[in-house]
Structure 1
Amino acid sequence: MSHFSHIIFDLDGTLTDNTQGIKNSLKYALDKMQVDGYSEDIIDKFIGPPLQWGFSNLFGLNERNTRLAVEYFREYYSENGWHQNDPYDGILEMMAELDSMGKKMYVATAKFEKFANRIIEHFEMDKYIVQVKGADYNGKKAEKDGIISAVLKTNQLLPSSDIVMVGDTVFDISGGKENDLSTIAVGYGFGIEEELRKENPDFFADDVEELFEILSA
């Protein structure tokens, strides 16, 4: 049974559903880059991983064009995309309950840190979150294992099974494991269940209610 004292959440696909904001920002960037002929399936795969990884691996852009596409993405996202977003049903209530139980909560996201903080404050999650750690502007620190490690270091936390990483993609689960933490994969976000289960997370939550049961045990 779990007894987690510290909880590190991913943001997109775990706390909030930002599908529309990311899709609109991506389509804006691809239009600016004159990239067409792509499928909706590729757009779905874009949500979750770092932007640089998505533009490079899914759309085959070289390093220079990847940097330019990221700039265009952020241009739209900073004005419109960030608020085309909503917390999943039950998330705010879950965080309030976990906070009342004395659980310490953090956010580790591949999203640009400025946007992540803006979203957390907009939905008033900041009253529950000790720290939000995101990617730096140039994307050189966008790998999830490094972001999680930075949260641990900043808060003087030693790797422990009492600390859990919660996320919806393989990057979240592998990042948690690389930092010797417990892991929970959530099935309601953007990840593919089969791929998530191959990462052997310690727990799998199909919905927010089940996630709360695991975290509050």
Structure 2
Amino acid sequence: MPQFTHILFDLDGTLTNPRLGIGNSLKYALRQMQIDGYSDEILERFVGPPLQDNFKNLFGMNERNTNLAVEHFRTYFGEKGLFENEPYQGISELLEELHLSGKRVYVVTSKLEKYAKMIMRHFEFDRYLDDLQGAEATGKHSGKGQLIEQLMERNRIPASASVVMVGDTHYDLIGAKENEISCIAVGYGFGTAESLSNCNPDFTVDSVEELAELLLG
């Protein structure tokens, strides 16, 4: 069994299920932008990548409208959406066990950093964390590889197979490989099985229970 010393978790789709809050925030933003006629399937694609990229790529918005849509999204999300969220069953216990066993535990997310910290406090996960890295409000340096790099540099974590990124999308896996660390794909989140397997993760799990077995040995 691998012995991981530093464990980096993605947030959305890995620690918590944000489907309701992100969906409601997206619908609010699109109403404000007077956009309708989109499919519910679009919601799934808003979990993981930076907001700016999705509004540009999925709705063809220019930079000005992208910034407006992001502001509207964050207005709803900051007031209600971030709490319309639910931890996956067993995650709280896993984080506590990792912390008590002496593992170093981190969160690396493309979500705005201040919201990520609020969510961690809301679910009382912050007590188990050594550090958290989220995205800037501008959307700059928000690629998962860049975010992982920032957290590793700040905490002086050298690249090693004993450092692992745990995530549900190919963004997490690619970011891990860019930083020469191990990666675990979780199959219970928002990424497709095909997109995850195409990234050749070091390990794949389909439940929090399997993840706990792998991380705790």
User: TM range, normalised to the smaller chain?
Assistant: over 0.9
Runs of 4+ in structure 1 off by over 4 angstroms are none
Q: Aligned residue for 2:87? A: 87
The equivalent residue for 2:48 is 48
- Aligned equivalents of 2:135 and 2:141: distance in 1? 5
- 1:105 corresponds to which residue? 105
For the pair 1:165 / 2:170, whether they are aligned, the reply is no
Partners of 1:142 and 1:27 in 2: how far apart? 23
- Tell me the residue number matched to 2:14: 14
SS at 2:59's partner residue?
coil
Tell me the secondary structure at the aligned position of residue 46 of structure 1. Answer: coil
Q: 1:102-123: CA deviations, max 9, x gaps?
A: 1100000000000000000111
SS in 2 for 1:210: helix
Contact 1:25-1:74 at 8 Å conserved across structures = yes
What code does the residue aligned with 1:197 have? S
Deviations 1:55-84 (A, max 9, x none): 111111111111111000000000000100
1:203 and 1:53 map into 2 onto residues whose CA distance is 28
- Whether the 8 Å CA contact 1:46–1:58 is kept in 2: the answer is no
What is the deviation of 1:141? 2.0
Q: What is the rounded CA distance, in whole Å, between the counterparts of 1:204 and 1:59 in structure 2?
A: 32
| 1:135 corresponds to | 135
- Residue 210 of structure 1 aligns with which residue? 210
Which residue does the alignment assign to 2:144? 144
Aligned mates of 1:194, 1:19 — CA distance in 2: 21
- Give the Å deviation of 1:96: 0.9
Task: Read off the aligned partner of 2:202 and give its amino acid letter.
Answer: D
Distance 1:63 1:199 in 2: 30
RMSD, aligned CA = 0.7
1:42 CA displacement:
1.4
Partners of 1:112 and 1:136 within 8 A in 2: yes
Tell me, what secondary structure is at the counterpart of 2:110?
Answer: strand
Cα distance per residue 1:132-178 (max 9 Å; x no partner): 11000111121110100011001011111100000001100000110
Give the Cα separation in 1 of the matches to 2:25 and 2:142: 18
Q: Does 1:189 align with 2:208?
A: no
TM-score (norm 1): 0.98
Distance 1:172 1:207 in 2: 17
- Give aligned-pair identity as a percent: 54
Aligned-partner residue type, residue 149 of structure 1: E
Distance in 1 (CA, whole Å) between partners of 2:5 and 2:143 is 24
List gaps (5 residues or longer) in structure 2. none
Aligned amino acid, residue 58 of structure 1: L
**Secondary structure class of the residue paired with 1:204:** strand
Structure 1: segments with no counterpart, 5+ residues: none
2:32 matched residue in structure 1: 32
